[in-house]
Amino acid sequence: MYIAAVILSVLLALVFLAAGAPKMQLKGAVPDGLIEKGLSSGLVRFVGVAEAAAAVGLIVGIWWQPLGIAAAAGMVVVLIGAINFHAKRGEYGDSATRNAAITPIVLLLVAAATAVTLAVSL
């Protein structure tokens, strides 16, 4: 089970680092789009920092599982917020935005699986 925990942790950390870095710097299409949709630049930057911190926590959590579990749980909280944001904007019902809105749901499942596999491998 430990190998699965490591693989999930690394993959999820890479995804969240790639997602968080542009938001932290407020550079790129994603942060600009979030700001255009009504989020403040401070909130976008905060989400980026939370995503990057969770990625670092997952990597360190490979060696110290309690931190990895906490990082994965933090990712679940961030992803619930993202799902709520997409739902309030009606993006699940719009075929043009549905694919992007589904991503947080998939990542939520991966983050939950990562937390469980890390907990089981203690």
pLDDT digits (tens, 9 = 90+) for 47-94: 999 999 999 999 999 999 999 999 999 999 999 999 999 999 999 998
Could you identify the residue written with the tokens 């043009």? 96
**Tokens coding 35:** 């700001």
86 and 101 in contact (C-beta within 8 Å)? Answer: yes
Buried b (16+ CB within 10 A) or exposed e, 28-51: eeebeebeeeebeeeebbebbebb
Residue 106: pLDDT band (50, 70, 90) is very high
